[in-house]
Structure 1
Amino acid sequence: MKIIDIREETKPIKSNIRNAYIDFSKMTLSLVAVVTDVIRDGKPVIGYGFNSNGRYGQGALIRERFRPRLLEAEPASLLDVTGENLDPHKVWATMMSNEKPGGHGERSVAVGTIDMAVWDAVAKIEGKPLYQLLAERHGNGQANRKVFVYAAGGYYWPGQGLEGLKREMQSYLDRGYSVVKKKIGGASLKEDMARIETVLTLLGPGQQLAVDANGRFDIKTAVEYAKALSQYDLFWYEEAGDPLDYALQAELAQHYAKPMATGENLFSMQDARNLIRYGGMRPDRDWLQFDCALSYGCVEYLRTLDMLKENGWSPARCVPHGGHQMSLAIAAGLGLGGNESYPDLFQPYGGFPDGVKVDNGYVTLPELPGIGFEGKADLYAEMKALAG
């Protein structure tokens, strides 16, 4: 077998919203199709992938570096021991040939996008859901199809006001989410506290609010917010400062005893390891948000999970950023603590297969081959158009 083609298209996911750092009015992503010569049900097996919001499309890197390396490689060099399927680790190594260590920025997103499509193809060729394949190859053999999800929203947008925020958050609770998240740091502390208290009035027993500063704060402001936030029973206080400022994160832990979260903007096992070594993160309460689609894909995520285990962290403390089905599959197959969800934003790339509902903060994944993109009609329409 072999890869016949790799197709990429830059797609818009723009929204008239902003967080504390960026707006999303010109946001894009890369949609990728990895076409193989394996035939199932009379059609070639095609794996699909895309990158998460926040990092834009990666078309140039995919077309100029990573696609050519795979298509020029000897086909047998990309196969597993059976010779009948791709080996994601060999594919990854080929993509990263002639790449120097470090520089974990945009290239990690390009590789992660293709890696997603490769794993989708591999699981489809095996005729299994990806979560089951991961459980068998890298987990305890038994996937848990029931996965915790939280609703990410609460962005700043024109004319929103407290009533608009209230309506948005109530809609998430009405759809079965038990944890909702809103942005902070894009307004004054006083205004952010008013927004937080507005959401808290909606919450019932077993429901919580998480807040996210998107890396906006210096240490003084981060601590100021920590002191103000300590009065609330928040699910977490997320990404207070720059993602690579481990000293800030470690200092913040001295001022905020409740759960914190960070990691969505760390794009390699090495960066994740530095966070664990130097960031003051606490494995008994804090959360890690590494996103495979932005950080070299599932191959690198497996290395990150191994590193966490070596440092006394459970995979259950990982709740990835991104809101996509790839992370859902990893969560179900490898025992992560859950996944982010965007109920209304960045569609059709976020969300779940059609018919999957949130029940008291959890979804149950259907038994679809691969990642399960074919079960989401609006998303699969985009994918089929790319595959031709």
Structure 2
Amino acid sequence: MPVRIVDVREVTKPIGSAIRNAYIDFSKMTSSLVAVVTNVQRDGRPVVGYGFNSNGRYGQGGLIRERFADRILQAEPGSLLDETGDNLDPDKVWAAMMRNEKPGGHGDRSVAVGTIDMAVWDAVAKIAGKPLFRLLAERRGVVADPRVFVYAAGGYYYPGKDDAALCAEMRSYLERGYSVVKMKIGGESIADDRRRIEAVLKEIGPHARLAVDANGRFDLETAIAYAKMLRDYDLFWYEEAGDPLDYQLQAALADFYPGSMATGENLFSHQDARNLIRYGGMRPDRDWLQFDCALSYGLCEYQRTLAMLKNHGWSWKRCIPHGGHQMSLNIAAGLGLGGNESYPDVFQPYGGFPDGTVVRDSIVTLPELPGIGFEGKSDLYAVMRELAC
């Protein structure tokens, strides 16, 4: 029987919390959870691919249910298969979703497509009976390294959180095996943020590194003022100082901040990523790119972004995706990226690793689970399984 997608299901779930960064609070945040159900049977059950959108963008149930899911289900089933006819072709499924869509308009649309795309790749790897990271490596003709660098993202503002609580949080990440941690800045005065940074640096000592993230809060004058302050410290990076589309602001910072900078998590297409490389003054010898496939049309589009980077002389090792999810973790291992973000304590159950995964010196080793490996994370799979029933 030819492989077919028999259903695409979505549910919007709350992931709200009292935390905030410099720009938004997460009290009303939601996420879309998608199941792509196929007619392929494994152990008497249909193969189901799962996906969800990354934190920081709201669930896209309306777009998924009213536009993109129907295009997949209405497509001629054979038009979605690979050359063998034994599996789905993610690029063909992606093309079906994007039929009759005009260029541009990136944002919520890219999140909806990226969420379904994640579920399609999960299904494809499960049908192949392989972890996604190994499938991706095989397509490149290389052997995958299951070890991936990860850093612990946190350091959010929330009511009543003082320096002692911030330092305790960062210390807990080190105790769990991380050697690079990240905290938020820009939500208080520059003097307060300097105090917070110095407190954390004292807490983590010389054997760990600190990254800081402004979440696009600053205008040029403030971004430069922070750059002058931050260059007093040996930081892992200075992240997203200004609006993600203000390439001139990003380029100007290079004159004031000689250390590493990071940005890209809020760019949702390979065209926007290309403009960052062309006009944003990013330096391929030290800066980091944080494009998140789950927010930017999925892995099919992410591979176009990677091809663009290669053409512009960038190593894929300079990519450390935003999001802290297992999809980007598999991509990092399968495509040889520089690492992946991790959220040890927030945005659960969607962030993190399969049960029993250990972080050592900021390195995790992916288990040999078919697909993306969601079934190995019990709290997440409990939510996903409800959608497949």
TM-score range normalised by the length of the shorter chain? over 0.9
Alignment of 1:37-48 (within 5 A): 37-48=39-50
Greater Cα offset, 195-204 or 240-249: 195-204
2:127 aligned with 1:125, yes or no?
yes
Distance 2:42 2:19 in 1: 42
Residue 204 (structure 1) shift: 3.3
Question: Where does residue 154 of structure 2 map in the other structure?
Answer: 153
Question: Where does residue 300 of structure 2 map in the other structure?
Answer: 299
The aligned length equals 387
Question: Where does residue 226 of structure 2 map in the other structure?
Answer: 225
Question: Where does residue 250 of structure 1 map in the other structure?
Answer: 251
Distance 1:229 1:19 in 2: 18
Question: Where does residue 210 of structure 2 map in the other structure?
Answer: 209
Question: Where does residue 58 of structure 1 map in the other structure?
Answer: 60
Provide TM-score, normalisation by structure 1: 0.99
Distance 1:127 1:285 in 2: 38
Residue ranges of structure 2 left out of the alignment (5+ in a row): none
2:324–2:342 CA contact under 8 A, matched in 1 = yes
2:52–2:294 CA contact under 8 A, matched in 1 = yes
Letter in 1 for 2:177: G
1:151–1:172 CA contact under 8 A, matched in 2 = yes
Provide TM-score, normalisation by structure 2: 0.99
Question: Where does residue 95 of structure 1 map in the other structure?
Answer: 97
2:329 aligned with 1:328, yes or no?
yes
Distance 1:284 1:141 in 2: 25
Q: Which runs of 4+ in 1 moved over 4 A?
A: none
SS state at 1:211 partner:
strand
SS state at 1:204 partner:
helix
SS state at 2:198 partner:
helix
Distance 1:81 1:140 in 2: 18
Distance 1:232 1:205 in 2: 12
SS state at 2:6 partner:
strand
Question: Where does residue 70 of structure 1 map in the other structure?
Answer: 72
Distance 1:129 1:202 in 2: 38
Distance 2:372 2:346 in 1: 20
2:316–2:336 CA contact under 8 A, matched in 1 = yes
1:132–1:141 CA contact under 8 A, matched in 2 = no
Residue 93 (structure 1) shift: 0.4
Residue 140 (structure 1) shift: 4.0
2:170–2:204 CA contact under 8 A, matched in 1 = no
Distance 1:355 1:39 in 2: 28
SS state at 1:358 partner:
coil
RMSD: 0.6
- What is the aligned counterpart of 1:11 among 13, 17, 22? 13
1:226–1:255 CA contact under 8 A, matched in 2 = yes
- What is the aligned counterpart of 2:30 among 3, 28, 39? 28
Distance 2:45 2:295 in 1: 30
Residue 144 (structure 1) shift: 1.0
Residue 206 (structure 1) shift: 3.6
SS state at 2:205 partner:
coil
Question: Where does residue 376 of structure 1 map in the other structure?
Answer: 377
Residue ranges of structure 1 left out of the alignment (5+ in a row): none
